[in-house]
Chains A and B, each alone.
Chain A
Amino acid sequence: MDAFMAARMQMGVSLGFHIIFACIGMVMPWFMFVAEWKWLRTNNPVYLDLAKAWSKGVAIFFAVGAVSGTVLSFELGMLWPGFMEHAGPIFGMPFSWEGTAFFVEAIALGLFLYGWKRLNKWVHLYTGLIVGIAGVLSGIFVVAANGWMNAPSGFDWIDGKAYNIDPVKAMFNKAWFSQAHHMTIAAFSATGFAVAGVHAILYLKNKLEIHAKAITIALTFASAAAILQPISGDLAAKNVAKLQPAKLAAFESHFETQERAPLIIGGIPDVENETVKYAIKLPGFLSFLAHGDFNAEVKGLDQFPKDEWPPIPITHYSFQIMVGIGMFLMLIAAIFLAATFKYKHWLEKKWWLRMLFIATPLGFIAVEAGWIVTEVGRQPWIIYGIMKTKDSLTPMPGIQYTFYTISAVYLILSFVVIWLLSRQIKVLQAKYLSNG
């Protein structure tokens, strides 16, 4: 592995690790908030237990998310100093707002976690709401900064330097909105299904009320998100078609520019011969999805020089995985809706709980796949159309070793977090079973 590949992999591992903790840290507070609110409304102590149990998980995820986020803010400069030297002043504004939002989130979470006895009940509930709002806002700010890398704006690029910098225009770049709603909804969906899945397997073992309540809260958020997500995804794809046609062509493996372009489902892209083997092709559907017209022309990879092609197979597979999972989660959401309003007995069925359990990791796999589509799909550019990733690499040799180190640390940390959570769950379970 050369230094360039190692640096990209290190960035990918660090982001891929952080995104999971960031999603959970921004969505779980909403679940805690609802649980506590229900407790205040119904006086059912099960809701209080649930809010407290969840808050322990949130504390762990939030702490690991905070440290891995700090690491990222340094890694950007340690791996890509050429990028940050130019981009920092331009796309830094959302980061400075993100700092504030995250600060507020950390403070409110401190109050929530340690303030059960010290705060008035309603003030306590309110701090939970602040955690949720601040978390979502900080997520949106970071995604806005990433949007700028996809749709750079707010500066003039003359001879390798940026002039006339306008941080506001840079923040409200053309990609920020579609990326922000797509990511926020994805976070709710992924976290919701993960939480529901864990409680579903526990409920399958012991039919405790606390797990049933937990599943209802988590699935309500997750289902709303899963049903909205295709609409959000459609808007995002149309935006990519307009702003980054090479990325769209890569994840669709659309080699040849044509009208009535087919939507390619599955298959194995053969980059050498510029075809996709064993795929299902729906004529005209790509034109429709990208431009809203079955006969519209969709730009293919042939419009771009080969050295500007993103890596095609990995973006193509990732896109298929993301969409496939999205469809499956939407199906679960539909069943949940049907069950809630008409077929209540389904909620107790083994097949249903098993289905939820299977869905536990799927949302996060889709989130990771989606980020691979966005980030790998932007290559070879780090600032789309302006600066190539390889030109911004640190001159320091031996990045391979920092990549191995960071990966090992994150791998170990992942195992420890999973182990820790399973211990927490066992304690909770034991407490309920001994109470009868």
Chain B
Amino acid sequence: MIPEAAIWAIFLLPLGTFALIGLIIRPLLNRFSLLSGLTLIASLGVALGFSVWTLRSVILGHDLDLETYQWLEIGSAKIQLGLLIDQLTAIMLVVVTGVSLLVQIYSLGYMKGDPGFSRYFAYMALFTAAMLGVVMSTNIIQLYAFWELVGVSSYLLIGFWHERPAAAAAAKKAFIITRIGDVGFLIAILYLFVRADDFAAAGLNAFHIPDIWQAAQPVAIGGVGILGGAALTWFTLGIFSGAAGKSGQFPLHPWLPDAMEGPTPVSALIHAATMVAAGVFLVARFYPVIQQSGDTMSIIALIGAFTAVMAATMGLVMNDIKRVMAYSTVSQLGYMMAALGVGAYSAAMFHLFTHASFKALLFLGAGSVNHATGTFDMRYMGGLVRHMKVTYVLMVIGGLSLMGIIPLAGFWSKDEILAGSWYSSGLVDGWVNRATFIMLLIGIVLTAFYTFRMLHMTFHGEFRGGIDQELADQAEDEREELEEQGEQGSGMAPADAAPVSAHGGVHLAESPVIMLFPMMVLGVAAIISGYLANPQWDEEIGIPRHWISEFLLHGLENTVPVLAGNVEIHGFSRSLATFSTVGAAIGIILAAGLYLGRRQTWERDPLELGGKVHSLLANKYYVDALYEGVVVRSAFYRLMVGAVDWLDRNIVDGVVDTLGWFFRNIGSMIGRVQTGQVQSYGGVVVFGILLIILGFLLS
């Protein structure tokens, strides 16, 4: 059995590394900045070991002896910190420490020579600690605290190259949009405190997550029924709003593609494998509560499925390889959310697990490609298969896994999600199930299409010049623009808008081993982890059938009575598998038809023939323009902020200045009366006396 201190160490090791780098290595030993990377890798290695140990303890069903520690007590608000180690947490711990470890190894190569090398690893350490904190928290305020810390470390990492305006803007956008979701989350927490007395009466603590689970179980099935009815729905919607922000679900999705401004390993760890999965985790964490509200479940399912399709359509037309992947991530997170919404709890978490491996692999691959070409724009890539065989093979593995091609990892988990939405669990209405299923199926076609297009544009055909060509074209465009302006008679100086690339220059070659090694590990995981974790047939390979699903559901059953439909695990269905494979095949064939036969030079994307539809997608459905242009700039900033600011300066402060002016002038008027002439003073005195006498006579 794992001692509590070892579990705490999983979280404290990266946190300590953050402090060590921030307080000692960076200020004093920055010449040996490699030290910061190595320290983090070592501490994550140990943390991974402890995580596996924790998982083993949970699998063996050890009764872990965990303490809580009082952090704050004011009146009846008791906030106690502690660990919550269940099946869900145990799996997340391994995923987070494992992927983080691989990404840090990769970063040693990718970030080599960057002046902010130590700072990078400090932020990475902070992020990993915060993310581990989220999955281990037993108190909802503790969870919220780490949740926000995850947000801020993401902010620091997206804006890592803060001298690039786009990076600074993207960091801000990410933080603000996720915070909009967090308002709902925070209000949900505040609501818990309103009911603190009822919790206390039942011997529960309103902030303690297992107690919240209990409180949401209706009396009918032996629960305490403190949370229920409309209040329960609002509470769960609040939780989901926080989750939707972090997981980039519609309408809070626009920050995630912009977040690609951060260094690529950051995208792999944070914006593919872990942080964005925190939203899915949060819904799973409160699943015993959320499943009590059919309305919330339906909303989660529909938003998830809609996001899955919408993001995939945008992924079709992007030319930036990381943005394709970003929309793909949003889309895949939609799959997980949809699965949770229709009641396929274990399928969602299984997909989170497999997605972490193949999406991290794809992002690291994108970084490897960028290392060679200096650009992320696929229009300037092409033909890389001849120079980067290993990266190519690994990217294809990741891509096939993403498409859901049998027998790769993604196939098994996506299939479970489809099965979950096909067979009704009884938690949501039948039409929600059907709508979700259809949207997810469409998503499969789209996923196969954009993945094929991405692989083709990047690796096949002729090489189209990389960053050199991109810069040349940009200069060309600027010249033309300048000439046009010149014709109009307003010769302006050219703006120095040359993009700053992290790895300037084209050197077509395979990336160093230190970058390839983590990719290979992820590649192996992307092939086998799906089947190994969840074998569909009995005892074939010594792992029980449906191991991970059973494991996760067992964890859920331990906590609360689960509604009937949830415990059922759907066996492998040939017909559904055929459906999804056909869907993926259609996507591949469509893409192959459009792209394979084309000439080698990249004149124009055939998708542009779509005309208005293409520009709608390329402009991200104008959602970003709506948010930034209309809502934020015009409605909020110009209109509302402008009006209030005007009010403040002219009315609120104006009254003050007017009063001041008034009294100043009164003063000078009175001053004029005070002439210093005794005669006039005397006159006034006499007049006053007369007035008083008159007053006495009249009364």
A and B: bona fide binding partners: no
Give me the interface of A with B, judged by CB distance under 8 Å. none
